[in-house]
Amino acid sequence: MNAKIIFILLVAGIATIVTAGCVTTSDPTNIGTTATHPPIDYGNGVLYFPDTEAEFANSLSAYLERNPDMIVVAIAGDDNKGYGADEGYFVIVEKRTTTCNG
């Protein structure tokens, strides 16, 4: 059952990334700004970021900076506002098993 949920989230995340535009991130003032909301941790590597667009990117970046031993496995929009309109993103993370430095 858990594998099915992870697979669905993975497919939804890939579809979201492929079909989403990156218009707001082309503005350099959006890069590196303070994250607006911390993620909600559901346990077992399931996080929810209640941000979209540049705010989501900054929140995810801040999380990964605070947790360098974690890697992102999948991302999926919450679809709370209907097809293609999200209020936040579910992110699946897991502990990094190897490092690039050895």
Q: Are 60 and 73 in contact (CB under 8 A)?
A: no
- For residue 97, the one-letter residue type is T
pLDDT in tens for each of the 102 residues of the chain? 577 777 777 666 665 554 444 444 455 566 666 656 789 999 999 999 998 888 888 999 999 999 999 999 999 988 877 676 788 999 999 999 876 665
Q: Are 74 and 10 in contact (CB under 8 A)?
A: yes
Per-domain residue ranges of the chain: 2-95
Q: Are 49 and 89 in contact (CB under 8 A)?
A: yes
The candidate with the shortest Cα–Cα distance to 95, out of 41, 38, 44, is: 44
- For residue 69, the one-letter residue type is D
